[in-house]
Structure 1
Amino acid sequence: MRFLFFVTVISVLLLLVGYTTWRGVQFLAIFGNYKYIFAALAGVLFLTLLLNFLMGESLPLSLAQLLSFLGYSYFIFIVYLFFAFLLVDIVLLTNKMMHFIPHVPLFKAVAFGVITTGIVIAMGIGNYRFNHPKIAQLKIEANKPKQQKSVKIVAVSDLHLGFSNGKKYAQKYVKLINEQEPDLVLIVGDMVDRTVKSLLQQSMQEDLKMIQSKDGVYAVLGNHEYFGEGVEQVRQFFEISAIHLLKDENVLIREDFYVIGRDDRINHNRASLADLMGTLDRAKPVILLDHQPFNLEEATNCQIDLQLSGHTHNGQFFPINWVIKKMYEKGYGYLKKNNTHIYVTSGLGIWGPQYRIGTQSELVVIEFGY
């Protein structure tokens, strides 16, 4: 299975690189030797992408991070370039029948310039949107007997900390969380990108310990925590980071309300939500953390007051955000189903390329009244 995945990925990369390089060289034909510079640059960047893909985590950290940024940036660039060149080729094919382009070589060169400039600008904006998260503000009232109280919650998801999103991002995220002066911090999965090895190498536990919260820091597992050494190693890392992991568990906060943390649905043996609700005082509000926003009716049926999810990144890149809207009942943002409030965050971090094209990184601040 892993070999098949590897072959598929390499085949797709070769198709993208081969087509964009071939057409790029042809589009630059009127500029003479510049086409060879483009081809050489494409070859070097492809090698960085391949090296990062094959052995990134075994390289020295600074080199791995550089290769990761360059390689993933090139990947995003050629994906957009691939589809843009396809559109140009459709225009050129139509021109062979209708002859509406007077100077084809010049048209190709201008198209190349406009397309590459547009992609670079979009990537620049996308990197800014990743590095400058917005603060999403919510005010939620639980549908339970009123105690005339409230709690300020900071919810984050999909930090994807690792050798790519390294220590500086952990420090940045902790600072951003603390600036909100939260009562309670909830991490809704995929805090670890894959392996805790890189986090330990960078002593990120020391940074995560600095999160300031009156009522504690609680987290659930996402699918990416299952891709590394194992859940037990992740649990140990959370423990030394002063983060309480809820794996099909609940905790009573202030003796006032519950937080339930579900294991990720990648574990087919996870407990049902009904079982997790079994012994709880139904008069108290319940906040559910469930990384992947599937089967939202479960929360409604169990009279959950607030469900927080992540996972989707809101697509991370245009037009995948449009696909996400079709895949999920709620792929991003706020939804109310009966008396259950649901918020699916786009996530604070990213997976892979450090860009948010058509989307936005975010931290969620919730004033939860009960």
Structure 2
Amino acid sequence: MSIMWLIIFFLLPLLGCGFVAWHVWVMLPFANIYKGVILAAMALSFLCMFFNFIVGLDRLPTWLARVFYEVGYSSIFILLYLVMAFLLVDLLRWVGWYPIDWFYSSAKGSLLIFLAIVGIFSYANLHYYNKVRISMELKSDKAMKQPLKIVMLSDLHLGYHNTRADLAKWVELVNAEHADAVLIGGDIVDFSVQPLLKADMASEFRKLNAPVYACLGNHDYYAGEPNTEKFYKEAGIKLLRDSSVLLHDDVMVIGRDDRTNKRRKSIARLMDGVDKSKYLLLMDHQPYHLEEAERNGVDFQFSGHTHYGQVWPISWIEDWMYENAYGPLTKGKTRYYVSSGIGIWGGKFRIGTRSEYVVLTIR
């Protein structure tokens, strides 16, 4: 697995940088010194991502950390689309459909690529801020005194890019539902709790007008699980780590620890002692081995983690990686929903995917 991530996050981006750099050098209609300045700026933007990993952002002033974060992690998505753009240009050039004089030292060709990238990512940024309300209604064959309304979120990734101002808007959306409970399926924190503490985001969570329950995600572990757990407590969030809670005497919510913890309980062990006459709702951040929930009598499983790739065509790769990378699924009597998340890590871009929150009614 470590070799795969090394290839995905280091080798392929470096090859992409070389591919894009050559095309930019050939296409720009400027003197070599100006081409060098532009390529140097592009390289520094990309290297910000490695700086963020190696040095860390908590040592920097918040405003500067935010700049490094946005520039560094946005560059990887822009690099992907530059690679695709130049591959398309090469293909069209080889079949004779792209003017050759737009390829070498061309103002027209350079302007075409620039406007295309600016247009795509301007749309992607605006699309990210459009939070889609997903309505779900599930009918239970188990006795319930009354319908239960639950708002479900995942992958908030609060930190240097998703700020308290963003969180405040999400809290307003949730409160407008007047739900009986709020469930958060992992990754409240992005990479560090420090920006959450500095901005006092805990007080924003306390404005939610319903009890909040959450399970851990992999990013919550990246931020340091003890730090995350302490923040949850301050924010008034009940953390379910391989534990459960009964809602309104009818729905048992079971929060599974993230698979980052190799010693977490199996679903079979989690079900020991659970009253199966209740409606069983499982939160498991990463949607692996979905058959385990079906095998152990879970009525509904909520997961996140995938973001559905954030931008196309990564969503296609995730469709290949996961049994269900996004949306609803039914296996036997068990229903599932894998959310693309209300937040995001890295650049605030959505292309071919959406930011969402789920309003679930169980009857």
Residue 100 of structure 2 aligns with an amino acid whose one-letter code is V
- Give the aligned partner of residue 127 of structure 1: 125
- Give the aligned partner of residue 195 of structure 1: 192
Give the RMSD, CA atoms, in angstroms.
2.7
- Give the aligned partner of residue 86 of structure 2: 85
Asked if residue 25 in structure 1 is aligned to residue 25 in structure 2, the reply is yes
- Count of paired positions: 360
Q: Does the 8 A contact of 1:157 with 1:311 survive in 2? A: yes
Q: Does the 8 A contact of 2:150 with 2:182 survive in 1? A: yes
Asked if residue 67 in structure 1 is aligned to residue 34 in structure 2, the reply is no
The change in CA–CA distance for 1:294 and 1:40 in structure 2 (over 3 A counts) is closer
Indicate the percent of aligned positions where both proteins have the same amino acid: 38
Q: CA deviation at 1:91?
A: 4.3
Asked if residue 272 in structure 1 is aligned to residue 266 in structure 2, the reply is yes
Distance 2:6 2:338 in 1: 31
Asked if residue 306 in structure 1 is aligned to residue 300 in structure 2, the reply is yes
Q: Does the 8 A contact of 1:248 with 1:260 survive in 2? A: yes
Task: Give structure 1 stretches of 5+ with no counterpart.
Answer: none
Task: Give structure 2 stretches of 5+ with no counterpart.
Answer: none
Match of 2:112 among 111, 114, 119: 114
TM-score by length of 2: 0.90
- Give the aligned partner of residue 360 of structure 1: 354
1:113-154: CA deviations, max 9, x gaps?
33332222221121112112110111111232x335211110
Distance 1:351 1:265 in 2: 19
The change in CA–CA distance for 1:232 and 1:122 in structure 2 (over 3 A counts) is same
Q: CA deviation at 1:7?
A: 10
Matched ranges for 1:1-370 at <5 A: 12-29=12-29, 35=35, 38-39=38-39, 41-46=41-46, 48-55=48-55, 56-92=57-93, 94=94, 100=96, 104-108=100-104, 109=106, 110-144=108-142, 146-147=143-144, 149-213=146-210, 216-229=211-224, 231-369=225-363
Distance 2:103 2:19 in 1: 19
Distance 2:360 2:328 in 1: 12
Q: Does the 8 A contact of 2:282 with 2:302 survive in 1? A: yes
Distance 2:40 2:290 in 1: 50
Residue 175 of structure 1 aligns with an amino acid whose one-letter code is E
Residue 89 of structure 1 aligns with an amino acid whose one-letter code is D
Q: Does the 8 A contact of 2:26 with 2:103 survive in 1? A: no
Runs of 4+ residues deviating >6 angstroms: 4-8, 30-34
Q: Which moved more, 1:41-50 or 1:81-90?
A: 41-50
The change in CA–CA distance for 1:263 and 1:113 in structure 2 (over 3 A counts) is same
Q: CA deviation at 1:29?
A: 3.0
Residue 301 of structure 2 aligns with an amino acid whose one-letter code is Q
Q: Which moved more, 1:347-356 or 1:56-65?
A: 56-65
Partner of 1:177, secondary structure, is helix
Residue 198 of structure 1 aligns with an amino acid whose one-letter code is P
Residue 70 of structure 2 aligns with an amino acid whose one-letter code is F
Residue 105 of structure 1 aligns with an amino acid whose one-letter code is D
Partner of 1:29, secondary structure, is coil
Partner of 1:80, secondary structure, is helix
The change in CA–CA distance for 1:326 and 1:13 in structure 2 (over 3 A counts) is closer
1:235-291: CA deviations, max 9, x gaps?
111111000000000111122221000011121211111221111222111111011
